[in-house]
Amino acid sequence: MTVDPLEIEDTSDWLGCPTELETCRYFLRVTENEVQELTLQLRKAREDIFGLVQMHADVSQERDQLRAELNRLKEEHSELSSKAYSLQLIADQRDHLFRENQRLLMEKRERKSL
């Protein structure tokens, strides 16, 4: 369906109807405002990204320090566990010798009493 150009109403002289130049200027102002708003949003996003990158770097450094501390504590724990095991063996041997000594003393007393 085609419309005859003569049937299209000419609205250019209507009161309050913007001219083509006014429409272009309005569109230009709207576009400039959007560009300014997007520029502000982009600047904010870049600042946020920089902040996040800095936070990541700080947390990564802290993580590395904590890992080093954890490894040091693991080594220390291993050494202390080894020492504790050795001390436990010595204590078990001492207890065994003490019991054996007590048994031998009891046998000696029994022999003397006979």
Q: Convert the pLDDT of each residue in 83-99 to its tens digit.
A: 999 999 999 999 999 99
Using an 8 Å Cβ cutoff, are 8 and 14 in contact?
no
Residue written as token pair 């001219």: 19
pTM for the whole thing?
0.54
Which amino acid does the sequence have at 33? N
Cβ atoms of 19 and 12 closer than 8 Å: yes
Q: Hey, where are the domains in the chain?
A: 17-113
Q: In angstroms, rounded to a whole number, what is the distance separating the alpha carbons of residues 114 and 112?
A: 5
User: In this predicted model, what pLDDT tens digit does every residue of 35-73 receive, in sequence order?
Assistant: 999 999 999 999 999 999 999 999 999 999 999 999 999
Q: Model confidence over 6-38: pLDDT tens digits?
A: 666 766 666 677 888 999 999 999 999 999 999
